Amino acid sequence: MNKRVVITGAGAITPIGTGRENYWKALREGVCGIKPIKSFDASEYTTQVAAEIEDFVPENYIPKKETKRMDRFTQFAVAAAKMAVEDGGLDLEAIDANRFGCVVGSGIGGLQTMEEEHAKLMAKGPGRVSPFLIPMMIGNMAAGAVSMALNAKGPNYCVVTACASGTNAIGEGFRLIQRGDADLVLAGGTEASITPFGIAGFCSMKAMSTRNDDPKTASRPFDVDRDGFVMGEGSGILLLESLEHALARGARILGEVAGFGMSADAYHITSPAPGGEGAARSMMSAIADAGIEPSAINYINAHGTSTPYNDKFESMAIKSVFGEHVKNLCVSSTKSMTGHLLGASGAVEAVACLLATHENYMHGTMGIQNIDPEIGLEVLANQGREAEVEYALSNSLGFGGHNATLILKKYRD
């Protein structure tokens, strides 16, 4: 029999708040973290806004010497993981480190380091490239650094499925504990791609909003005038634990992972499959894994990127899966406030779903002016809603056709 997997801690580094409580307060209040880009001169870019984290001081979480050997995306992950451990009241000396795992996803990895070191190569030659280039750049280093910082000697790896990375990582952590391969797993995602190279690439794809004169409504998922996503950065990490392990140590339990599903579109490198059929299969797989009927779910945290195709096809997928029950569903998009954290998005959105079930509150989707009539869903526009949330579903849909879905539930004895 599969083990029950509960969530005992959560860490969040986001553009609207650091730490679980601050992040949740900002979500409830509809705070938007999207502003003109400050980290570099974006005046020549078609998109000049992003959701940057302006108050992050890595030395508050990591020894200064070590921060210099970590890209920003790794620093975010280590900080969020430490928060999750503290939030979960976990005594690292009292657990079996060999049964403590870590799965951290990242869609892009150390882009900032890559850019800076490439500039050195071009200007000064190969001898000036840092010996830390490779270990700072590679995507798995966030998971590696978290394990070293917290002595997690169990299963340790990185998931790279573009914008589904964080959700897949949590799903993998869930499976590790279900199967009995670990007692505890730190799982989530991290990303730091607001760099000249990263923004230029997405601008060239014409994937991002160009609503530079109105940053607060640049990300407006499900709006008829949505024109692209807005880049965000940060990390979300959950402390997953087998129920028996959590009970044995007297842990406070925030929620439970009920199901996980995934699928491939097998269609296009960036565009979702027509009608969202791949996303629909992912949701159906997660619902089946949870052993529930679709009618048990009343809240969906959508991938909701604010791009024309994603929002349209995801809404079609939701309607195909839930049928008549769709009229009883409330839908929101965290990305309206945080921007799109790419490989970390599913992780910070899982934290939002966790707290929706724990606090019985579904946050709103900010920036909406006019709901697209084609969407046909009850989108919580510009304000949240108090409601009993027994089960919450979170979608993540990545470039390459990667679809992943988590179902979180309220914990009951």
What confidence tens digit (pLDDT) does each residue in 249-295 have?
A: 999 999 999 999 999 999 999 999 999 999 999 999 999 999 999 99
Count of structural domains within the chain = 2
Residue 386, domain extent = 258-409
In a domain, 209, yes or no: yes
Residues 192-209, mean pLDDT to the nearest whole number: 98
Q: Which two tokens stand for residue 178?
A: 């279900």
| pLDDT computed for residue 413 by the predictor | 83
Three-state DSSP string of 160-186: CCHHHHHHHHHHHHHHHHHHCCCCEEE
Does any domain span residue 253?
no
Is 13 in contact with 346 (CB distance < 8 Å)? Answer: no
Q: For residues 215-229, give the mean pLDDT.
A: 98
DSSP secondary structure letter of residue 328? G
**Residue closest to 302 by CA, chosen among 193, 214, 219:** 219
Q: What is the pLDDT of residue 264?
A: 98
Mean pLDDT, the chain, integer? 98
- Residue whose C-alpha is closest to residue 410's, from 299, 294, 304, 303: 299
Same domain assignment for residues 138 and 243: yes
Q: Are 313 and 237 found together in one domain?
A: no
- Tell me which residues are annotated as active site: 163
Count of beta carbons in the 10 Å neighbourhood of residue 289: 22
Last residue of a domain, one of 190, 213, 248: 248
- Domain co-membership, 373 together with 231: no
Residue 315 scores a pLDDT above 90:
yes
CATH number at residue 341: 3.40.47.10
Looking at the fold, whether 236 and 280 belong to one and the same domain comes out as: no
pLDDT value at residue 294: 98
Token pair for 227 = 């024109």
Q: Looking at residue 1, what is its pLDDT?
A: 80
Phi first, then psi: give them for residue 340, nearest 5 degrees. Answer: -100, 110
Decide: helix, strand or coil at residue 293: coil
In which band, very low, low, confident or very high, does the pLDDT at 212 lie, cut at 50, 70 and 90?
A: very high
Domain final position from 227, 248, 269: 248
